């Protein structure tokens, strides 16, 4: 794969994490089974898992995904932001792209793990921004790489995105939409999604 710098996206996502208000933690996200707190827990976990994937230094057999927003620690914003910075830095090492590694419990080539990591942070940054009403300055190079990555998969019929995953049945998006909206639609999300207004 052509090298894509994860750091613009991990930095943007870290800023979004720091911008989440306490009163938003129980709110919904574009992933229907995830609250904002659940999504934050997932982001922290994936940052750690894909840093291990880059260094090939994770626990034997990898770690199975487990999401629970109730276990966010005090200072979680800074902890997750630091983990995201470490993730971005880890994929600066050319050796991270060589050989085979573990991404969570899945074994895959290092260059593919890099793309999965990039897709995770790019799409979940949009999820978090949409859920919390924040602006998301998506990195154009990351969005382009993710669109190519997602296009390589057969579109799912049932909803991985329905349970917080990255892929669900594609949502139709006008062909003249932004590249980010086209990516979001391809991963089973509606780019117009907003949290319901509480009156």
Which fold would CATH assign to domain 7-138? Answer: 1.20.120
- Predicted confidence at residue 157, as pLDDT, reads 55
How confident is the model over 44-69, as pLDDT tens digits? 999 999 999 999 987 766 666 678 99
Taking only the tens place, the pLDDT of each residue in 111-154 is 999 999 999 999 999 999 999 999 999 999 999 999 999 998 76
* CB-count burial class (<10 Å; 0-12, 13-18, 19+) for 194: exposed
- pTM listed for this prediction: 0.91
C-beta of residue 184 within 8 angstroms of C-beta of residue 173: yes
Q: What's the pLDDT score for residue 62?
A: 63
**Which position has the token pair 């949290």?**
195
**Cα 53 to Cα 101: distance, rounded to the nearest angstrom:** 6
How far is residue 128 from each of residues 39, 60, 94, measured CA to CA in Å? 7, 31, 30
């Amino acid at each position: 794969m052509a090298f894509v710098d994860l750091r613009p996206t991990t930095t943007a996502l870290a800023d979004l994490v720091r911008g989440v208000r306490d009163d938003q933690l129980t709110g919904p996200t574009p992933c229907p089974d995830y609250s904002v707190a659940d999504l934050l827990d997932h982001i922290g976990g994936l940052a750690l898992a894909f840093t291990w994937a880059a260094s090939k230094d994770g626990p034997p057999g990898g770690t199975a995904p487990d999401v629970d927003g109730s276990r966010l620690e005090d200072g979680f914003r800074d902890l997750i932001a630091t983990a995201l910075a470490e993730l971005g830095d880890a994929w600066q090492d050319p050796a991270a792209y060589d050989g085979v590694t573990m991404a969570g419990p899945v074994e895959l080539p290092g260059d593919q793990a890099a793309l999965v990591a990039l897709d995770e942070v790019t799409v979940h940054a949009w999820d978090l921004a949409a859920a919390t009403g924040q602006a998301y300055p998506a990195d154009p190079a990351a969005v382009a790489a993710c669109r190519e990555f997602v296009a390589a998969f057969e579109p799912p019929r049932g909803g991985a995105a329905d349970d917080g995953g990255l892929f669900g049945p594609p949502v139709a998006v006008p062909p003249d939409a932004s590249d980010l909206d086209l990516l979001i639609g391809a991963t089973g999300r509606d780019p117009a999604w907003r949290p319901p207004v509480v009156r």
